[in-house]
């Protein structure tokens, strides 16, 4: 370790004798700098992102003008677009999507605002508990709670309907979750949680001095809420609402589970229908519809930028904040709390409880002590399909999350620390898949990686699913890494450089340890996104690359509810593990 | 300890010229302060010395060693320059203990474990943090962080100590205390130091010499006394200490021996003669910069508030017969402990700040007579390009 040659003599050595500090002038060992200019490195990273992100976009767009199918382009045609634009077929899909997305948004916004405001700004009972529990549904995949609710509320043999007929003598089904009702109901549950998560921070961190100013000018607390608090948060609320609306247009699981059996088709399940339920699959029409969906979402995004780009109210200063909590009358306090309890029952306890319950019965709906069995669990463990799915999910999600942490870290570092224009280009590319619907992404990757000749033809390989997870996880993963880099003061790195640390040693001793927490957070986020994703593997899997979500859908479609329930709980355990990990990393950050 | 010399050092960011041909030297063991308002280029200059910013031109020599020379293609990377630096935020690494922070430069120089411990303990004693080595650095107070940053910058006997506004994050009391401690430590270690600050009081009390910068250019280099007593430019006069700048729109009679001009006050016009030794000519461009783009007056007369005597009634107790007498009315008076500050209006366009001992008691609204000795005035004249 102690290399005497490093402490070389320099002109200062003689003068150093008798100084208060040090044994002599110490010199840093000369480490040769790599001869490669950093721009080359940026360009290589940009090239990687072009291949990962832009290339599938481009192929999707191109193939929408061709007659072929993945692996073979065929000849040029406009017929794919004629299917949609030359008929009235697009109209119901467009209308259904808008109605679905808008009603989901309105319902979720109302409850999310109520809960966020109550938790952050009022004396609602158990505010801390509510703040902790309302985000939980967001972490539970729609697929699982959807299965739970469909077991309970399908019109043929849903448990609620069975019980109604058995105990109360109902003639037909009293509840039917197929179609619009079930679709909007179930999609709203998860969205409330997501919007709460986005909004509660704004309510909590809003600078109290704006409200205090209104109070000193004679407004009572309720008037302050109405005239100051909500209007000031309006841009944030609007921005989040637009985002939720756009995501509504892309959602797949709910339309698939609740829409399909009720004949409600929006963009995502219509695209999937053309690919999977038609023989032969109508690749051309599906691809054209995908491009139309991209255009619609992009137009909405432009609206979001235009409307909100210039005027963001700066209300989040975080300083000088003292919670000014509104004292609500008792009935209102407990009323809001009761709503929360009902919400949590509907969003988590009832559907998950149903799955847990069902996992111990062999025949769906035949519940009684004499039927309790562990057969389903044995089935899951002995039948390699579920375990193989779990194994694949963990491997693919781990690899994708690791890749995103590395790519996102590099993109974030270049973007934050350099002024090079490629930094912006990299950020933009990493962010681009943000609003790309999962089904569209799957289809684009299918086209893109079935097209090239061997050995670049990745069709049917695990790699193409991993690439899909990387692309899907990149926007949030890169943003997380970027903010992690952002939080590290540049002076911490510069201080290392000045005091003798080369670039490489600065990365090793300073940057890497300081980024560890952010990297863990990014890893967890991407792993969570990947492990719960259905659309990408659904379009890209083959038997041996099936993920757990695909396995789940298979059991649902074959009606094997016992095995479905047990397998769902494995998926849930994976999710809960992540939730715990996420909470731990977050608490450490605070 | 080595000296440092910058020669025609420049830096531009695109079209913005941050530092425009800075040439200066700091002698062995000297504490040189770069002083100026934010955006004047002082921090950029320091960062170029440190090797954190690549200059656009010029050269930097530290001791015998040229660390940067545009013309000769020399650019020694930051980690090879062997400098100690205290950052504005202190840049104490939060994932390391105090001792690990301080030992970092030694580790980078492959000093063994025993050697590291010895040097760290020594420097902890020096900065008054004996025994705190094992403390996690996140638990330090602002003053302690400052000391750790200093210890880290000193522990490896750097060629030069760089300080980037090291006191600006401390509260006022602590700042004053640390100012003296910093100076004492720098002198004890005998290091040449370059210190950046925007706080003129800090610069005056701390420096051997100071370099006043504005808009990327050096306005004046000198000892604190030189800079305060003989400000070379209008900018320096106004930036350092308090001052009155009386714009003279026209009617200046420039002669080889000096300048004659008339001042309008409540008592009528007063003839003023300024000897040529008190006239500073500066490029019109700089003068414009100092007036924030307003049209440059023909000349500006500068006098410090404490050099203006204030007296009741018709005549102030003038020191000399040539003293300029100006009649005026007191607009306001502020008591600041050992002295009082006045704002006196001498004509519709001009008010002067005056400082006097608290013996003199004139209230707001009273008519007073001001007296200024000619040698206490400086006349700034924009050169006709």
A492/B93 CB distance under 8 A: yes
- Residues of chain B with Cβ-Cβ distance to A495 below 8 Å are 85, 87, 91, 93, 152
Enumerate residues 50 to 109 of chain B having a beta carbon within 8 A of any beta carbon in chain A. Answer: 50-52, 63-65, 77-85, 87-91, 93-95, 104-106, 108-109
Quote the mean pLDDT of chain B. 87
Separation in Å, CA of B339 to nearest CA in chain A: 37
Q: What is the mean pLDDT of chain A?
A: 84
Q: A6 and B157 in contact by Cβ < 8 A?
A: no
Which residue from A194, A293, A282 is spatially nearest to A244, judged by alpha carbons?
Answer: A194
User: What angle (nearest 5°) sits at the alpha carbon of residue A76, between those of residues A71 and A80?
Assistant: 85
Taking CA atoms, what residue in A is nearest to B92?
A: A492
Question: What separation in angstroms does the CA of B192 have from each of A215, B26, B32, B78?
Answer: 56, 7, 8, 18
Task: Write down the pLDDT at residue B263.
Answer: 84
Q: What is the mean pLDDT of residues A478-506?
A: 88
Contacts of A489 in chain B (CB under 8 A): 89, 91
DSSP notation for A246-261: HHHHH--HHIIIIIHH
B243 touches chain A (CB under 8 A): no
Inter-chain CB proximity A495 and B94 less than 8 Å: no
State the DSSP code for B350: E
- Name which of B186, B164, B161, B159 is nearest B42 in CA terms: B164
User: At residue A34, does pLDDT exceed 80?
Assistant: no
Q: How is A360-374 classified by DSSP, letter by letter?
A: TBSSTT--SGGGB-S
With bands split at pLDDT 50, 70 and 90, how would you rate the model's confidence at B181? confident
B265: pLDDT confidence band, cut at 50, 70 and 90?
confident
- For residue B6, CA distances in Å to A217, B29, B63, B147, B199 come to 58, 16, 11, 28, 23
**What does the DSSP 8-state code read for residue B249?**
-
Q: What percentage of chain B exceeds 70 in pLDDT? A: 93
Residue of B nearest to A499 (CA): B105
Contact residues on chain A for B153, CB-CB shorter than 8 A: 499
Contacts of A589 in chain B (CB under 8 A): none
Pairing of strands B193-197, B31-35: parallel
Both tokens of residue B144? 């302690």
Other Cβ atoms within 10 Å of A50 Cβ, number: 14
Which stretches of A154-250 are DSSP H helices? 159-168, 180-205, 208-216, 221-224, 230-250
Chain B nearest-CA distance from A491, in A, is 5
pTM for the predicted model, two decimal places: 0.79
- Is residue B23 scored above 90 in pLDDT? yes
B126 part of contact set with chain A, CB < 8 Å? yes
Residue B153 has pLDDT above 70, yes or no: yes
Q: Which of A161-165, A187-191, A456-460, B86-90 has the highest mean pLDDT?
A: A187-191
Residue A589: partners with Cβ closer than 8 Å, 6 or more residues away: A517, A521
Pairwise CA distance, residues B56 & B66, whole Å: 16
If DSSP codes are grouped into helix, strand and coil, which group holds residue B272? strand
Local confidence band at A7 (pLDDT 50, 70, 90 cut-offs) = very low
* pLDDT of residue B41 exceeding 50: yes
* Per-residue pLDDT, A9: 32
Say if residue A267's pLDDT is above 50.
yes
DSSP A52: I
At A582 the pLDDT is 74
What ipTM goes with this model? 0.80
Q: What was the pLDDT predicted at B45?
A: 95
pLDDT for position A146: 95
Residue A330, φ and ψ in degrees, nearest 5? -50, -45
For tokens 């025609």, what's the residue? B8
What are the angstrom distances between the C-alpha of A60 and each of A53, A69, A436, B286?
11, 11, 12, 61
Q: Would the CB atoms of A491 and B115 count as touching at under 8 Å? A: no
| Strand arrangement, sheet containing B258-265 | B253-255, B258-265, B268-275
Quick check: B239 and B37 in contact, CB under 8 A? yes
* Contact: B84, A2; criterion CB under 8 Å: no
Question: Does residue B222 contact residue B236 with C-beta atoms inside 8 Å?
Answer: no
Selection from A319-333, A534-548, B303-317 with the highest mean pLDDT: A534-548
Contact A501 B79 (CB under 8 A): yes
A489 and B88 within 8 Å at the Cβ level: the answer is no
| CB-nearest partner of B110 from A21, A29, A513 | A29
What share of chain A in percent tops pLDDT 70? 89
Tokens (6 digits) for A218: 């004679």
Q: Is the pLDDT score of B282 beyond 90?
A: no
Select the residue of A2, A15, A513 nearest B95 (Cβ to Cβ): A513
Least confident range of B7-21, B294-308, B316-330: B316-330
d(CA B198, CA B124): 29
Contacts of B188 in chain A (CB under 8 A): 20
Contacts of B23 (CB under 8 A, 6+ apart): B6, B7, B8, B9, B218
Asked, as a colleague might, if the bond just before A455 is cis with ω within 30 of 0, I would say: yes
Q: What is the pLDDT of residue B4?
A: 93
DSSP B153-213: HHTT--SEEEEESTTTTS-HHHHHHHHHHHHHHHHHHT--EEEEES-HHHHHHH-SEEEEE
Name the residue of chain B whose CA is nearest to A8's CA.
Answer: B109
> Which residues, other chains included, contact B364 with Cβ-Cβ below 8 Å and sequence gap of 6+?
B330, B331, B332, B333
Q: CA A312 to CA A46: how far, in whole Å? A: 30
Q: Is the pLDDT at A35 greater than 60, yes or no? A: no
Most confident segment among A448-457, B193-202, B294-303: B193-202
Q: Residues of chain A whose C-beta is under 8 A from some C-beta in B?
A: 1-3, 6-7, 10-12, 15-16, 19-31, 33, 489, 491-492, 494-502, 505, 509-510, 513-514
Q: Is A557 helix (H, G, I), strand (E, B) or coil?
A: helix
Cis peptide before A280 (omega within 30 of 0): yes
pLDDT at site B217: 92
How many beta-carbon pairs under 8 angstroms link A with B? Answer: 136
Is A498 in Cβ contact with B79 (below 8 Å)?
Answer: yes
Chain A contacts in chain B segment 148-177 (CB below 8 A):
152-157, 159, 162
- pLDDT of residue A40 exceeding 70: yes
- The answer to whether B122 contacts A489, with C-beta atoms less than 8 Å apart, is no
pLDDT exceeds cutoff 90 at B34:
yes
CA distance A201 to chain B (A): 26
Residue of B77, B82, B84 with shortest CB distance to A27: B82
Which of A20, A25, A492 has its CB closest to that of B189? Answer: A20
pLDDT-wise least confident of A363-367, A424-428, B31-35: A363-367
With beta carbons less than 8 A apart as the criterion, state whether B307 and B244 touch. Answer: no
List, for residues A338-378, the tens digit of each pLDDT value. 999 999 999 999 999 999 999 998 888 777 778 888 888 88
Quote the pLDDT of residue B174: 85
Q: How many CB atoms lie within 10 A of CB A54?
A: 13
Give percent helix, percent strand, percent coil of chain B, each to the nearest 5: 30, 40, 35
Which of B78, B153, B190 minimises the CB distance to A497?
B78
Q: CA of B309 to nearest chain A CA: how many angstroms apart?
A: 46
Q: What is the pLDDT of residue A36?
A: 58
Contacts of B80 in chain A (CB under 8 A): 28, 30
A202 has a pLDDT exceeding 90: no
| DSSP H helical ranges for A488-511 | 490-498, 503-506
Question: What integer pLDDT is reported at residue A30 of this predicted model?
Answer: 35
Beta-carbon neighbour count of residue B118 at 10 Å? 14
User: Which residues on A lie below 8 Å from B146 (Cβ)?
Assistant: none
Q: Which is higher by pLDDT, A422 or B34?
A: B34
- CA dist A550 and A438 (Å) reads 14
What whole-number distance in Å separates Cα of residue B82 and Cα of residue B64? 13
Q: What is the model's pLDDT at position A324? A: 65
* pLDDT bucket at A48, cuts 50 / 70 / 90: very high
- Answer whether A480's CB lies under 8 Å from A520's CB: no
> What's the pLDDT at A247?
86
Are A430 and A408 in contact by the 8 Å Cβ rule? The answer is: yes
Give per-residue burial for A428-451: e unless 16+ CB within 10 Å, then b.
ebbbbbbbbbbbbbbbbbbbbbbb
Instruction: Choose the closest CB to B50 out of A7, A24, A498.
Output: A498
Which among A425, A401, A402, A400 has a CA at the least distance from the CA of A414? Answer: A425
Indicate whether A205 pLDDT > 80. no
Residues of B in contact with A509 (CB under 8 A): 104
Per-residue model confidence (pLDDT) at position A39: 79
User: In this complex, which of B81, B95, B159 lies closest to A12 when CB atoms are compared?
Assistant: B159
């Amino acid at each position: 370790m102690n290399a005497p040659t490093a402490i070389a003599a320099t002109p200062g050595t003689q003068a150093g004798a008798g100084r208060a500090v040090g044994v002599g002038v110490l010199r840093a060992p000369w480490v040769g700098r790599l001869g490669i200019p950093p721009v080359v490195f940026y360009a290589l990273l940009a090239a990687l992102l072009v291949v990962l992100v832009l290339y599938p976009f481009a192929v999707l767009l191109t193939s929408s003008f061709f007659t072929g199918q993945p692996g073979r382009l065929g000849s040029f045609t406009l017929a794919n677009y004629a299917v949609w634009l030359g008929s009235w077929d697009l109209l119901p899909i467009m209308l259904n999507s808008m109605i679905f997305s808008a009603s989901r948004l309105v319902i979720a916004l109302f409850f999310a605002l109520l809960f966020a405001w109550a938790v952050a700004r009022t004396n609602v009972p158990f505010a801390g508990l509510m703040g902790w529990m309302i985000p939980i549904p967001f972490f539970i995949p729609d697929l699982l709670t959807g299965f739970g609710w469909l077991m309970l509320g399908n019109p043929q043999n849903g448990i609620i309907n069975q019980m109604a007929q058995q105990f109360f003598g109902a003639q037909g089904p009293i509840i039917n979750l197929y179609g619009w009702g079930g679709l909007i109901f179930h999609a709203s549950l998860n969205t409330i949680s997501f919007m709460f998560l986005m909004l509660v921070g704004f309510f909590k961190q809003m600078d109290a001095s704006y409200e205090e100013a209104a109070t000193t000018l004679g407004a009572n607390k309720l008037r302050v809420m109405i005239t100051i608090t909500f209007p000031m948060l309006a841009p944030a609320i609007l921005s989040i609402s637009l985002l939720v609306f756009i995501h509504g247009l892309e959602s797949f699981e709910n339309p698939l589970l609740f829409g399909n059996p009720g004949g409600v088709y929006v963009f995502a399940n219509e695209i999937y229908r053309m690919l999977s339920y038609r023989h032969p699959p109508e690749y051309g029409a599906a691809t054209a519809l995908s491009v139309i969906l991209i255009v619609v979402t992009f137009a909405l995004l432009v609206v979001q930028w235009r409307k909100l780009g210039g005027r963001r109210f700066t209300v989040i200063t975080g300083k000088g904040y003292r919670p000014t909590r509104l004292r609500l009358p008792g009935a209102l306090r407990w009323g809001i709390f009761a709503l929360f309890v009902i919400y949590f029952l509907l969003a988590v306890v009832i559907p998950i409880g149903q799955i847990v319950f069902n996992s111990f019965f062999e025949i769906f709906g035949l519940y009684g002590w004499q039927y309790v069995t562990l057969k389903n669990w044995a089935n899951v463990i002995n039948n390699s399909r579920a375990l193989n799915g779990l194994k694949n999910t963990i491997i693919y999600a781990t690899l994708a999350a690791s890749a995103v942490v590395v790519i996102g870290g590099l993109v974030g570092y270049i973007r934050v620390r350099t002024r090079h224009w490629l930094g912006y280009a990299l950020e933009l590319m990493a962010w681009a898949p943000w609003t790309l619907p999962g089904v569209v992404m799957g289809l684009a990757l299918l086209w893109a990686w079935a097209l090239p000749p061997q050995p670049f033809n990745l069709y049917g390989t695990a790699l193409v699913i991993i690439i899909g997870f990387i692309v899907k996880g990149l926007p949030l993963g890169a943003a997380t890494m970027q903010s992690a880099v952002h939080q590290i003061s540049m002076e911490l790195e510069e201080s290392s450089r000045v005091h003798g640390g080369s670039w490489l040693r600065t990365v090793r001793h300073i940057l890497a340890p300081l980024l560890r927490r952010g990297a863990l957070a990014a890893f967890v986020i991407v792993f969570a996104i990947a492990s719960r994703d259905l659309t990408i593997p659904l379009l890209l899997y083959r038997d041996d690359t099936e993920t757990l979500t695909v396995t789940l859908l298979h059991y649902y479609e074959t009606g094997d509810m016992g095995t479905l329930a047990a397998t769902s709980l494995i998926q849930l355990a994976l999710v809960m593990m992540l939730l715990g990990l996420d909470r731990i990393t977050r608490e450490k950050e605070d | 300890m080595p000296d440092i010399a910058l020669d025609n050092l420049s830096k531009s960011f695109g079209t913005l010229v941050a530092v425009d041909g800075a040439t200066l030297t700091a002698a062995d063991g000297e504490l040189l302060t770069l002083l100026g308002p934010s955006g004047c280029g002082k921090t950029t200059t320091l960062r170029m010395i440190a090797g954190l910013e690549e200059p656009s031109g010029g050269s930097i020599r530290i001791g015998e060693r040229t660390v940067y020379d545009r013309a000769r293609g020399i650019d020694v990377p930051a980690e090879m320059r062997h400098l100690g630096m205290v950052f504005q935020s202190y840049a104490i690494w939060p994932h390391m203990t105090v001792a690990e922070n301080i030992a970092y430069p030694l580790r980078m120089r492959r000093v063994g474990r025993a050697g590291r411990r010895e040097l760290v303990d020594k420097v902890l004693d020096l900065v008054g943090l004996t025994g705190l080595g094992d403390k996690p650095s996140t638990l330090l107070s602002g003053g302690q962080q400052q000391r750790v940053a200093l210890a880290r910058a000193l522990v490896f006997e750097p060629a030069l100590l760089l300080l980037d506004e090291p006191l600006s994050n401390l509260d006022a009391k602590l700042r004053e205390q640390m100012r003296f401690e910093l100076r004492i430590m720098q002198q004890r270690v005998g290091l040449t130091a370059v210190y950046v600050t925007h706080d003129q009081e800090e610069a005056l009390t701390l420096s051997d010499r100071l370099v006043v910068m504005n808009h990327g250019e050096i306005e004046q280099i000198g000892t604190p006394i030189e800079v305060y007593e003989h400000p070379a430019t209008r900018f320096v006069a106004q930036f350092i200490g308090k001052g009155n700048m009386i714009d003279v729109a026209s009617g200046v009679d420039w002669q080889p021996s000096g300048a004659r001009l008339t001042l309008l006050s409540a008592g009528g016009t007063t003839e003023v003669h300024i000897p040529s030794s008190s006239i500073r000519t500066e490029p019109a461009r700089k003068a414009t910069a100092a007036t924030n783009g307003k049209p440059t007056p023909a000349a500006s007369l500068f006098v410090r508030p404490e050099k203006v005597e204030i007296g009741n009634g018709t005549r102030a107790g003038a020191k000399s017969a040539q003293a300029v007498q100006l009649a005026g009315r007191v607009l306001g008076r502020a008591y600041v402990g050992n002295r009082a500050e006045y704002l006196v209006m001498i004509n519709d366009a001009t008010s002067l700040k005056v400082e006097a001992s608290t013996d003199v008691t004139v209230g707001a609204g009273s008519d007073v007579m001001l007296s200024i000795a000619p040698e206490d005035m400086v006349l700034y004249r924009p050169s006709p390009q």
